[in-house]
A and B are shown apart, each in its own frame.
Chain A
Amino acid sequence: MNSVGEACTDLKREYDQCFNRWFAEKFLKGDRSGDPCTETFRKYQGCVQKAIREKDIPIDGVDFMGPNKDKPET
């Protein structure tokens, strides 16, 4: 799948490969010893943030888990 910024697709692929391997082999098995993907993530994230700014995607001030503060069941 392509990235939201076309130029970032290769960086995305590189990061995705690192993440998926680390996630299944380390993280889920309780190994929190380190994050081998910090560098690839940093590069990928930088590219994406630039693309988001350029495309005017309204992401400013959006909180993590957004409106889901204390979601009641109606």
Chain B
Amino acid sequence: MVKYFCNNTDIRSTWDHVVSAFWQRYPNPFRRLLTKTNRLPRWAERLFPTGMSRLVYIIEDSIVDPVNRSLTTYTWNLNHTTLMSVEERCIFQDSVEQPAATKLKREAWISSNVYGFSRPIQEFGLARFKSNQVKAMKGLDYALSNLQGETPQRLLRDTVKDASEKAKEAAKSLASAATVPKKPQQYV
């Protein structure tokens, strides 16, 4: 049984800007480290056998179609998949309704194979994914604002200030953050 999530949103920038900013969304003051801001509830902590690495390796693949103006990204975790597997697909395309805007369709598939606990784990994963939605966009918004040189529409001054304190701490442990760097695949 897999938990499915789907959300459509509009980004107030052109597709060209969004796709260019996409590669530049890290570092940003909103990036979150699993260990820092995503604390697990106690019952979930117990599901990790002692000695098991807490590092999660996440890979992101992407396809840019410049003719049809579509960016598809696929992100999933490489390890701890029995515990929880999260796959996310994002499709960025020109917005049909709004000129100079981009529509984003985000989907996620969350599953767990822990005997007897898969249901609560999946529910937890889905709830966590939903609550992280807003944060997930902030990194991209940040990169867009840097590219376009204007104040980002969705950022509050207070949030930026608070987040940059966390970012200083986070930067120290960033070397061990297990994100595999992008390998752009260009399909012509």
Contact = CB atoms under 8 A, between A and B. Distances in A.
Interface string A24-51: 1001101010000000000001001000
B27 A28 contact: no
A54 interface: no
Contact of B181 (A28, A32, A48, A74): A48
Given A4-B178, A28-B66, A64 B16 contact: no
B66 A74 contact: no
Interface residues of A, number: 30
Contacts of B129: none
Interface residues of B, number: 35
B29 to A, nearest CB: 12
A12 B78 contact: no
Given A65-B74, A66-B76, A68-B87, A59 B59 contact: yes
Contact of B89 (A20, A59, A71): A71
B188 interface: yes
B184 A4 contact: no
B159 interface: no
A13 B41 CA distance: 37
A19 to B, nearest CB: 7
B180 A71 contact: no
B20 interface: yes
B20 A28 contact: yes
A27 B66 contact: yes
A6 to B, nearest CB: 5
B48 interface: no
A32 B188 contact: yes
Contacts of B61: 64-66
A71 B175 contact: no
A66 B74 contact: yes
B2 A58 contact: no
Given A1-B26, A66-B87, A73-B107, A20 B20 contact: yes
A72 to B, nearest CB: 9
A62 B66 contact: no
Contacts of A28: 16, 19-20, 66
